[in-house]
Structure 1
Amino acid sequence: MIYYFDSKNPKAPAQMGRLLTDMVIQKILPHQEIVILCIGSDRSTGDSLGPIIGHQFRNFISPGIYLLGDLNQPVHAANLNYCIKSMQKTFDNPFIIAIDASLGKEDHIGMMTLGSGPLKPGLGVKKKLPEVGDLHITGIVNSSHDMESSTLQTTRLSIIFQIADAIVLALRTFNDDYYIQQEPELSYLLSQTS
């Protein structure tokens, strides 16, 4: 199931963040590390959503949550396969939340989606890339009426930042909620070692 949130609605980030927490708790295995994978390129306005989110969220991450993809080191079509292989070597079966820009219906521009299962990056511009993620978040940045990569080049930067700001707030809500719910377990483990 895919849930839609309007990035212009001030209540949407908190609602999305709480739902993300619930979905992660239902699916995550004990001791599984969380990787937030922000996909996109800093060289295309419409595809820059992921790196901008990674850049804005980098300083808010709690222990046990990791972030890949930002403006300095974007994860994009050319290095996504390598990044997935590196994650598999670095982490033992990580729980991946994949984030990317997407194209959609004209009246869905500015919407954020949250769904179960893998993200299918590049679908809107007819690129064949590996599916990735246990959960996925997308921001609908432009219309898919012609399904061309030029659509991403003509996307307004203001819509990218509007969606990015809302998703970062949702991730911060998730980050805080998830960490608070893990604290009793962490404090129990610390008391056992002292």
Structure 2
Amino acid sequence: MTLFNDNPNSINLSIEHTQFSHNLFHFIKQHVPHDQPTVILCIGTDRSTGDSLGPFVGHYLTHKPISKLHVYGTIDDPVHAKNLEETILHIHEQHFNPFIIAIDAALSNMKKVNSVETCLGSLTPGAAVRKDLPDVGHLSIKGYVNVSGFMDFSVLQNTRLSVVMNMAKQIAQALYYTDNHLKQHHSVFKLKGAQ
């Protein structure tokens, strides 16, 4: 089942829906600017299955032929609590006025598990395990990988890897469509400029 919020700046999608990647792409496409560098900031760690959503999205994206998206955070080089602030500074040094899409795993009630919430605005990394980290992102993607409640850190550690990997693949696919969309727009823009 696909859940659309009344708010046009937010969407919640079940990863079990057959059109998940296309629906997520269409939402992102409406909000991603064409005149700014687009940075995908994949937050999380490879040391916890539940918190590895971001690094897996980054991993899958870097194995696709992308050219317009700039990816930070992979399984081999994760962006986590200890290097997040440094990475944000580096992004702003490398890219002028970047539009940042921040991705992180999240915990919630049973109804939201296996769904992805995407909205305009930032997310707060590490909120599930009570870490004090800066809000980040112009658009945020939160993947609900498990149920919150007692001992959230342990819940993240014991989240099924297959759930995280499946969600990450589908988010990466939507972002790959986004890269193609940005490439097409850039090509049309260049063609018009040459006339």
Q: What is the TM-score with the length of structure 1 in the denominator?
A: 0.90
Q: State yes or no: 1:113 paired with 2:98.
A: no
- Indicate the residue corresponding to 1:88 in structure 2: 92
1:60 corresponds to which of 38, 55, 64: 64
Q: State yes or no: 1:161 paired with 2:169.
A: no
The residue type paired with residue 144 of structure 2 is I
Residue 146 (structure 1) shift: 2.2
The residue type paired with residue 133 of structure 1 is G
Q: Give the match's secondary structure for 2:134.
A: coil
- Indicate the residue corresponding to 2:47 in structure 1: 43
Indicate the percent of aligned positions where both proteins have the same amino acid: 36
Question: Gaps (5+ residues) in structure 2?
Answer: 1-8
The residue type paired with residue 22 of structure 1 is Q
**1:1-194 matches, cutoff 5 A:** 1-24=9-32, 28=33, 31-60=35-64, 62-146=66-150, 148-189=152-193, 191=194
Q: Give the match's secondary structure for 1:107.
A: coil
Residue 51 (structure 1) shift: 0.6
Aligned length: 187
Residue 147 (structure 1) shift: 5.6
Question: Gaps (5+ residues) in structure 1?
Answer: none
Residue 126 (structure 1) shift: 0.8
Q: Give the match's secondary structure for 1:60.
A: coil
Q: What is the TM-score with the length of structure 2 in the denominator?
A: 0.90
Aligned-pair Cα RMSD in Å: 1.5
Measured in 2, the distance between the counterparts of 1:12 and 1:62 equals 20
Residue 84 (structure 1) shift: 0.6
